[in-house]
Amino acid sequence: MNAVVPSADVADPTRRIETPPQTRGGIQFPHLVLLAEMIEDIHTGDAGNPVGLCEILCRIRSASDAKKATKKHCLYPAIQAGAQCDIDASIETIRTLRSDLIRDIAHITSITNEFTLPDDACTSWATLYAGLATFSDDLMNRLTHEREALSSLLKTSWRDQC
């Protein structure tokens, strides 16, 4: 494991993690969930129907909420207090949740055939896939930013101290 290298400004590391890169906007996530549910229901049995998409999106929402809570209630206070053992546990939780999010994005990309619409897709389906493509790219950018920000905090091992 790694030790936290104190910064001149104790809050600085948390600000780097808390400040995600700019997103492109687009459709809000709850609307994507509703569109996915509608497309799955209306197009049951149709070729290209992204069966299971709504369930994956709900899992993403849960994992994102858990990751935010871990950062807010565990990681940030631990960083500011210099509690290295708590930082280690929080980062492991965040890494697991991050891996789950990456797996779910890969699954979405797969079941949507890389966001390729069927020939007879309706406007709602097109809106869903365009929103999912933007959301997926933005999420991967945020996860990369977060990983880089966390990595910059960690330098040497502290496992023996815990």
pLDDT attached to residue 12 = 55
Instruction: Provide φ and ψ at 88, rounded to 5°.
Output: -55, -50
DSSP state of 154: B
- Under DSSP, is residue 101 helix (H, G, I), strand (E, B) or coil? helix
Mean pLDDT (the chain) is 80
Residue 24 scores a pLDDT above 90: no
Question: Higher model confidence: residue 19 or residue 131?
Answer: 131
Question: Higher model confidence: residue 123 or residue 29?
Answer: 123
Q: Is 25 left (phi over 0), alpha (psi -120 to 50) or beta?
A: left
pLDDT attached to residue 93 = 86
pLDDT attached to residue 159 = 38
pLDDT attached to residue 157 = 35
- Spatial neighbors of 85 by CB under 8 A, at least 6 apart, are 158, 161, 162
Question: Is residue 33 within 8 Å of 57, Cβ to Cβ?
Answer: yes
Residue 162 scores a pLDDT above 70: no
Any idea which of 33-37, 97-101, 108-112, 150-154 has the lowest mean pLDDT? 150-154
Question: Is residue 35 within 8 Å of 128, Cβ to Cβ?
Answer: yes
pTM for the whole thing?
A: 0.77
pLDDT attached to residue 2 = 46
pLDDT attached to residue 3 = 47
Q: Which of 147, 112, 152, 106 is CA-nearest to residue 128?
A: 112
Name the percent of the chain lying above pLDDT 90: 40
Q: What is the Cα–Cα distance from 32 to 153, expressed in whole angstroms?
A: 34
Q: Which of 105, 162, 159 is CA-nearest to residue 136?
A: 105
Q: Which two tokens stand for residue 102?
A: 């990456």
pLDDT tens by residue, 70-113: 888 888 787 777 777 777 788 888 888 889 999 999 999 999 99
Question: Is residue 94 within 8 Å of 71, Cβ to Cβ?
Answer: yes
